[in-house]
Structure 1
């Protein structure tokens, strides 16, 4: 009984994040880690992520950045392949520390610019930066399930409108999560038993995604992006803590 209560909450929180409330996502895997091995928890949640991903695409299908997706999806695929080939050689804690440093630098820079009231012009999507950060996002998503920080470091300076940001994010991470299915099965993280459990939890994730989308659509754009930056900062601090403590 405890398993299903905790797992249902984790699925709901994950769905909320897919619907546009990113801070809540940080609770999903830690919650599941209370009752099972974190690697197996990630495997259990992957099919639920995929179900929520495609529902989120449906919700935000009217707005997305085609140019960004053309750059980021191939780059993320390269990152996933690198992650699969190097997962046994890359210390997870070192990767978490690197992600934490990237996120903390970006958020700190944004805060100081805001305090100085210095508005940076929007940066256009470009291949060199997109290829680099897209590859890092694919790699870190595969190894540490943390593709958000590198993606946000690339996408936030573009100052996309809220709905375009949500649509682009939904499509990109739906693709990345699909790329991870084969390797997860190969590694034994995703099994038939865990897949069956995921099916029972999927409705909670869909309800969470629907709820998150309703909230994100009514949030003012300034508050929405402040929420994104706050989530990035908190996620970075969490990764810093995990990287230092192991």
Structure 2
């Protein structure tokens, strides 16, 4: 049961704005922090169900500013792999308990931070060589799966896209197109799995202005806000929320 009280909106409002800024301005890589944050306040399945329509609204709002600036080949490769990844995610969700979802979302959140820090410290290295098209399909499966179970498809998409030597804006525009398509693909199985309710629909209507505001801010922040500062805040949020979700899932 989703309680649409002051506590819910105190958490959900800023989370949705944050998702809008991330998706429309910084390549979608950290937008899933919003679902992690919301899962602290409500059942993880409901958190995912609330966030998907908001992410889709942000996708639509972000398409026009980046229209035609994407790299269509890279986008289609990841989308093609993403569809079976969505099916795998739906199969897992059918047998997963809320605590397992908390563990999974928490582990993805903390794992994302560890991955980013490892790259920056040189502990991991993504080769400068151009990944083949087949790698895009494999990355797409990971994108579809992680996006379905935690809205966290950004990191596997980034591994492939960053190897293809895209410009900052080309990368952003391609990410917008990819997740617009993947989120549409997730909508029907989410509905069949009961992740949408009358309460989530009401929450979506009330949160829509937050989503649009975040998308507007993200497009403008794309050229003026240092990525380093934005992602530093993101890493702190993901670490704290991820550890809390792991603790809740285990206890």
Q: What TM-score does the superposition give when structure 2 sets the normalisation length?
A: 0.78
Long gaps (5+) in structure 2: none
- Assess if the C-alpha contact under 8 Å between 2:126 and 2:163 holds in 1: no
CA distance in 1, matches of 2:246, 2:42: 22
* SS of corresponding position for 1:25: coil
CA distance in 2, matches of 1:172, 1:35: 29
Moved more, 19-28 or 1-10: 19-28
Match of residue 18 from structure 1 = 23
1:17-58 alpha-carbon deviations (Å, 9 max, x no partner): 122246873552244334422211210121111111111111
1:41 to 32, 39, 47: 47
Match of residue 149 from structure 1 = 155
- Alpha-carbon distance change, 30 to 105 in structure 1, aligned in 2, over 3 angstroms: closer
2:136 to 130, 133, 140: 130
- Alpha-carbon distance change, 80 to 169 in structure 1, aligned in 2, over 3 angstroms: same
- Alpha-carbon distance change, 38 to 105 in structure 1, aligned in 2, over 3 angstroms: closer
Match of residue 85 from structure 1 = 91
CA distance in 1, matches of 2:41, 2:245: 21
Counterpart check, 1:206 vs 2:212:
yes
Match of residue 179 from structure 1 = 185
- Assess if the C-alpha contact under 8 Å between 2:19 and 2:31 holds in 1: yes
- Assess if the C-alpha contact under 8 Å between 2:33 and 2:238 holds in 1: no
CA RMSD for the aligned pairs?
3.3
Long gaps (5+) in structure 1: none
1:100-128 alpha-carbon deviations (Å, 9 max, x no partner): 557735652443289xxx9964x435222
Alpha-carbon offset, residue 74 of structure 1: 0.9
- Alpha-carbon distance change, 125 to 228 in structure 1, aligned in 2, over 3 angstroms: farther
- Assess if the C-alpha contact under 8 Å between 2:20 and 2:215 holds in 1: yes
| Matched positions, count | 238
2:222 to 197, 200, 216: 216
Q: What TM-score does the superposition give when structure 1 sets the normalisation length?
A: 0.80
Alpha-carbon offset, residue 98 of structure 1: 7.2
Alpha-carbon offset, residue 200 of structure 1: 2.3
CA distance in 1, matches of 2:30, 2:105: 22
